[in-house]
Copies of this chain bind each other. A is one copy, B any other.
Amino acid sequence: MGEAATGLVAQLVDELERKLLFGDIIPGDKLPAQRAMAQGFGVSRATVREAVFTLESRGLVETFHGGGSVCCNLLESGYPEPEVKEGGGSRELQQQVMEMREMLEGEAAYFAARRATPAQREALSLEYARMRERGSGETTLRKAKADLTFHMLIAESSHHLLVVSLSQVLYTRYFNVIYAVLSRTLRKTGRYPPGIGAQHEEIYRAVLAGEAERARRAAREHIAYTRQQLSA
């Protein structure tokens, strides 16, 4: 391992991560006690704690007060109940991400309505039809992904490098935040919010009709609606 990890914590993290990934410690197993690890590795407990915390923030382990740290099952996360605490960020961040989406998707729709190529219009139609077809019977995760695919298609149709760039950054880097918002809404209302379908249709129609202002308004309203569910 040619690693030249700088810092004791980083070295410890590498060491433990290897053990975890290599299966010396399998999901459900408990990690050694912090005091034991400190002595074993010849470092202070504070260092061990930071290392364990790093692993926790990466989702590799879970720590219980008085109960030790346990290796996680990596596939269990992302299940229907993602337990928003780590995955979704603070309420405030969720709010800000949605505000950003509101402005961004409004502009994306605006430009898409004016500049989408025939091929892009067709792709959008296809995606919209597919989205509409399956409707329910999908996991929240798949719904969120389908939703972002739809909006990303519109962003791409804007033929606006900066809009596309920002969309990519937002949709990938903050996917878990967006997902958490949708997930939270679903858990509260019990089902897919009734307005969403109609809103998607309105955006879709406006873009295809080439009515830019209407598309912008529709897109903004769509996000505003979702955002509103959040604060309610």
Residue on B with the closest CB to A50?
B53
Q: Is A163 an interface residue (CB 8 A)?
A: yes
Indicate if A156 sits at the interface (CB-CB under 8 A). no
Closest B residue to A54 by beta carbon equals B57
Residues on B with C-beta less than 8 A from A106 are 103
- A92 located at the interface, meaning its Cβ lies under 8 Å from any Cβ of chain B in the complex: yes
The 8 A CB mask of A55-80 against B (1 = contact, 0 = none) is 00110000000000000001100111
A165 close to B (CB within 8 Å): yes
A91 shortest CB reach to chain B, Å: 8
Chain B residues within an 8 Å CB radius of A90: 14, 17-18, 21
With A46-B46, A93-B17, A96-B161: A75-B107 Cβ-Cβ less than 8 Å:
no
Instruction: Identify the stretch in A166-174, A187-195, A203-211, A224-232 within 8 Å (CB) of chain B at 4 or more residues.
Output: A166-174
**B-chain residues with CB within 8 Å of residue A17 when the two chains form the complex:** 90, 92-93
A80 to B172, CA, bound (A): 15
Most chain B CB inside 10 Å of its own CB: which residue of A90, A162, A172: A162
Contact code string A163-185 (vs B, CB < 8 Å = 1, else 0): 10110110011000000000000
A99 at the interface (CB under 8 A from B): yes
Q: How far is the CA of A18 from the CA of B91 in the complex (A)?
A: 10
Name A's B-contacting residues (CB within 8 A): 14, 17-18, 21-22, 46, 49-50, 53-54, 57-58, 74-75, 78-80, 89-90, 92-93, 96-97, 99-100, 103-104, 106-107, 111, 160-163, 165-166, 168-169, 172-173
